Amino acid sequence: MQESIIGVTFALLEPAKPLNDAQMCGSFYFIPVNTINTNYTMSNKIPFQKPFANAHDLILLLQSRGLNIADPVKAERYLEFIGYYRLSAYMFPLLQIPKTEHKYKPNTTFSHVMMLYRFDKKLRLILFNEIEKIEVAVRSAIVNIGCELLGDSFWITNGDYFIDNNKFNHTLELIDSEMHKSREDFIVHFKHTYSNTYPPAWMLAEILPFGVITNIFSNIKSARVKKQIANKFGLQIAPFESWLTIITLTRNSCCHHARVWNKQNTIKPMLPNKMTGQWITLPTDTLRIYFNLCIIKYFVDILSPQNDMKAKIDSLLNGFPDIDIRAMGFPQGWDNEPLWR
């Protein structure tokens, strides 16, 4: 056995586009997760040799492993148009222990697999809708507070306001790229009308990817500006940045139609020492989607105290009574928490 530190590196090569695009954000994160024992080394890796299998053969394979498939023809179509590999993430929880034997629990059906898939899809839609509100609000707060406190409408493109000059120059390159690509009427009008190299912050913010906006925030030199932006959402600076990272990663999962319902996060969010809004009190696994939902609900409550997010979650869970919400990190009595009441 060899003991090693396992780290998760997020190398997100392209900046995040607005919500209707599905790009990743342009930051790098290295998070040491834990120390574990492992005997995996480069020397004992093997070539991947599994052959391609068509939908028909995969249905036969699933049946041989104990999965009940009432309509094999219909199931084949699902595999053809969704993909076996994508659906296999929803099959995995239904396997018996040890899962390496690939045998399904008694009475497990393909319909159960599709139920999990549809639930996850609907959950992503709820997450996506609520995150959009947060993204728009955070973008606006960073721009408006920056302009007001710094007294400079063009502060986003002025390196004097930022800590790391290399990071600022990289951000400026991304801004130049977006300016060059943009066909938005207001950008075309600005270029044809004004002599300035860049538009004011409130115009730029409308074409910049959200990942660039959050990177701009993290690089701001003035603690006063950063504090007032975070305080707008009832948080301190460090937890605000941490929660924005969780929201961005959750958003990217939704954009890429990735599984979210029982997935474990690889970044542990920071817990605030104080906050102005309602929060949770029960012990909660901060790496599960329930905690992500709590973060999103906190922001949405700040933006719209009379929001219907809880009603949407209730409706989803009531529509899928067979879902094990414990696998999502929901504690018993979650709906009586101050945040969710």
Q: Quick one: pLDDT at residue 11?
A: 38
- Structural domain for 276, as ranges: 121-336
Partners of 9 in the beta sheet? 30
Domain membership flag for residue 207 = yes
Domain tally, the chain? 3
> Is there a single domain that holds both residue 153 and residue 285?
yes
Collapsing DSSP states into helix, strand and coil, what is residue 279?
coil
Q: Quick one: pLDDT at residue 39?
A: 54
Peptide bond into 51 cis (omega under 30): no
Domain membership flag for residue 209 = yes
> Is there a single domain that holds both residue 92 and residue 163?
no
Per-residue pLDDT of the chain (341 residues; tens, 9 = 90+): 444 444 443 434 444 343 333 333 433 333 344 444 445 556 789 999 989 999 999 999 999 999 999 999 999 999 999 999 999 999 999 999 999 999 999 999 999 999 999 999 999 999 999 999 999 999 999 999 999 999 999 999 999 999 999 999 999 999 999 999 999 999 999 999 999 999 999 999 999 988 899 999 999 999 999 999 999 999 999 999 999 999 999 998 999 999 999 999 889 999 999 999 999 999 999 999 999 999 999 999 999 999 999 999 999 999 999 999 999 999 999 999 999 99
CA–CA dist 293, 243 (Å, integer): 11
The single-letter DSSP state of residue 334 is G
> Is there a single domain that holds both residue 73 and residue 10?
no
CA–CA dist 260, 248 (Å, integer): 13
Domain membership flag for residue 116 = no
Lookup result for tokens 């690889």? 266
Q: Quick one: pLDDT at residue 210?
A: 86
> Is there a single domain that holds both residue 182 and residue 260?
yes
Domain membership flag for residue 72 = yes
Q: Quick one: pLDDT at residue 43?
A: 72
Give the Å distances, CA to CA, from 251 to 20, 53, 193, 229.
11, 32, 36, 21
Domain membership flag for residue 219 = yes
Q: Quick one: pLDDT at residue 42?
A: 61
> Is there a single domain that holds both residue 138 and residue 273?
yes
> Is there a single domain that holds both residue 103 and residue 189?
no
Domain membership flag for residue 147 = yes
> Is there a single domain that holds both residue 223 and residue 315?
yes
How many CB atoms lie under 10 A from the CB of residue 65? 15
Collapsing DSSP states into helix, strand and coil, what is residue 34?
strand
Q: Are 163 and 220 in contact (CB under 8 A)?
A: yes
CA–CA dist 146, 201 (Å, integer): 9
Q: Quick one: pLDDT at residue 17?
A: 40
CA–CA dist 261, 253 (Å, integer): 11
Collapsing DSSP states into helix, strand and coil, what is residue 185?
helix
Measuring CA to CA, which residue among 333, 328, 21, 26 is closest to residue 173?
26
> Is there a single domain that holds both residue 162 and residue 290?
yes
- What residue type is 164 in one-letter code? D
> Is there a single domain that holds both residue 188 and residue 94?
no
> Is there a single domain that holds both residue 299 and residue 202?
yes
Partners of 31 in the beta sheet? 8
The single-letter DSSP state of residue 100 is G
Domain membership flag for residue 113 = no
Q: What pTM, to 2 d.p., does this model score?
A: 0.84
> Is there a single domain that holds both residue 125 and residue 183?
yes
Domain membership flag for residue 264 = yes
> Is there a single domain that holds both residue 67 and residue 38?
no
For the stretch 163-172, contacts whose Cβ atoms lie closer than 8 Å and that sit 24 or more positions apart, written own/partner, are: 163/219, 163/220, 163/221, 164/219, 167/215, 167/219, 168/219, 171/212, 171/215, 171/216, 171/219
